[in-house]
């Protein structure tokens, strides 16, 4: 049995060594083999050097270096694309999710309890009330909006087996909302409840703007309800404006016109309807924007190089720019 541990890392110099030490102390004692796949998502601190050192010291470490920051979701996708294991465990670099649960996950999977074992947070430490509240509100909102039921209070921490990984890799969309796509794929998924710790060190890499982007990404890729809402709102407005028309006609013919004729009602109608129109346009824009992104067909991420003391792999169907080969072609071009 061979397990890949996927760890996305973005500016994690404060934790990365501790994370690897804890991961390996857990996995060394197991009967299964392990590879650690760290994805350096364009870090601009010492993460790169620290990961290179880990790869040189530990033959079970592989590092994928992105050419720039592509985001957490892209890093996880790269991990799944490049994993060699019979199953993969996705875990954050900051030890908020306890590595000690990995053997339990593998056990549950080996016993055939499910092809996906996902961590479900019963409580979380070290996060602001706003983060907890906004996360709770978001999970409830997306649950209502989504056509696929999505488990609540579930983050990225999970085990997925080879069948799930292969199915996931076949999904053609680029802007992936991973937490939603696994339930959509539909294999048997079993929760494993746990308490989420505080970040070991360093700052969250999910400031409000990124969190909102992830939330909108989730909503717009998993629901057409906002578009239906815009239509419903439009119908409601049509009815409201018809009633308003009746009122205007009645007041005109019964000569009960306001002192400054028509000003208040005109303004009201103008503001109200232009607001509705802008909201609906914005919703359309959100979906059209996503179509635009998909149509461009750009890869989700660009791997600059893969580092490991064992081997350097090139996986087909992903854009992989090996540093050396890239330089070689540049030199050939110069010669020509
Ligand atoms: N991360 C990443 N790329 C990014 C942002 C975050 O690879 O652009 C990684 C980060 O290093 C961590 C995980 O995604 O391993 C989750 O990020 P973080 O812990 O900062 O998020 P939070 O737990 O605060 O939601
Ligand atoms: Mg975290």
Q: What per-residue confidence (pLDDT) applies to 333?
A: 45
Residue with CA nearest ligand 1 atom 24: 204
pLDDT of 248: 74
As a dihedral over the C-alpha atoms of residue 254, residue 258, residue 261, residue 267, rounded to 10 degrees, the angle is -120
Residue 264: the pLDDT is 66
Confidence at residue 258, expressed as pLDDT on a 0 to 100 scale: 57
Any idea where the domains of the chain sit in the sequence? 2-222+302-321, 225-296
Length of the chain: 336
- pLDDT in 10s for each residue of the chain, 336 residues: 999 999 999 999 999 999 999 999 999 888 999 999 999 999 999 999 999 999 999 999 999 999 999 999 999 999 999 999 999 999 999 988 999 999 999 999 999 999 999 999 887 777 788 888 888 888 888 888 887 888 887 888 999 999 999 999 999 888 888 888 999 998 999 999 988 877 777 788 777 888 888 888 888 888 878 888 888 888 888 788 778 778 777 877 776 655 567 766 787 777 778 778 878 888 888 888 888 888 888 899 999 999 887 654 444 444 443 333 333 344 444 444
CA 20 from chain centre, in angstroms, equals 23
Span from the CA of 152 to the centroid of ligand 2 (angstroms): 17
Please state the separation of Cα 251 from the chain's center in Å: 55
Residue 325: its pLDDT value, please? Answer: 37
2-222+302-321 topology per CATH: Spore Coat Polysaccharide Biosynthesis Protein SpsA; Chain A (3.90.550)
Residue 207 CA, ligand 1 centroid: distance in Å: 10
Give residue 315's pLDDT. 46
Taken in order 29, 34, 35, 40, the sign of the CA dihedral is negative
Distance, in Å, from the CA atom of 308 to the CA atom of 3, rounded to the nearest integer, reads: 17
Question: Which pLDDT belongs to residue 65?
Answer: 95
Lining residues, ligand 1, CB within 6 Å: 8-10, 12, 41, 69, 71-72, 75, 92-94, 96, 199, 204-206
Q: Environment class of residue 41 by beta-carbon count within 10 Å: exposed (0-12), middle (13-18) or buried (19+)? A: buried
Tell me the CA–centroid distance for residue 125 and ligand 2, in Å: 11
């Amino acid at each position: 049995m061979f397990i890949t541990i996927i760890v996305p890392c973005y500016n994690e110099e404060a934790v990365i060594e501790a994370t690897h030490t804890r991961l390996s102390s857990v996995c060394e004692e197991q009967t299964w083999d392990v590879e650690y796949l760290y994805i350096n998502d364009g870090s601009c601190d010492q993460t790169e050097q620290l990961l290179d050192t880990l790869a040189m010291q530990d033959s079970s470490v592989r590092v994928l270096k992105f050419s720039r920051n592509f985001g957490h979701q892209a890093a996880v996708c790269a991990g799944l694309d490049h994993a060699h294991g019979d199953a993969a465990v996705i875990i954050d670099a900051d030890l908020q999710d306890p590595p000690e649960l990995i053997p339990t996950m593998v056990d549950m999977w080996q016993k055939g309890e499910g092809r996906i074992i996902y961590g479900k947070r019963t409580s979380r430490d070290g996060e602001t009330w706003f983060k907890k509240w906004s996360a709770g509100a978001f999970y409830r909102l997306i649950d209502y909006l989504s056509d696929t039921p999505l488990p609540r209070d579930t983050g990225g921490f999970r085990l997925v087996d080879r069948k799930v990984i292969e199915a996931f890799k076949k999904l053609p969309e680029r802007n992936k909302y991973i937490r939603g796509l696994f339930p959509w794929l539909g294999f048997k998924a079993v929760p494993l409840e746990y308490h989420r710790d505080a970040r070991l060190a360093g700052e969250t890499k999910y400031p409000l703007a990124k969190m909102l982007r992830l939330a909108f990404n989730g909503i717009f890729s998993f629901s057409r309800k906002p578009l239906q809402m815009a239509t419903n709102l439009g119908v409601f407005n049509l009815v409201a404006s018809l009633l308003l028309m009746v009122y205007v006609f009645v007041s005109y013919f019964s000569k009960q016109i306001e002192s400054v004729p028509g000003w208040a009602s005109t303004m009201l109608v103008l503001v109200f309807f232009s607001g509705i129109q802008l909201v609906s346009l914005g919703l359309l824009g959100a979906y059209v924007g996503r179509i635009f992104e998909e149509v461009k067909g750009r890869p989700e991420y660009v791997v600059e190089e893969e580092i490991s003391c064992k081997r350097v792999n090139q996986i087909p169907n992903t854009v992989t720019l090996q540093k050396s080969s890239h330089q070689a072609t540049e030199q050939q071009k110069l010669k020509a």
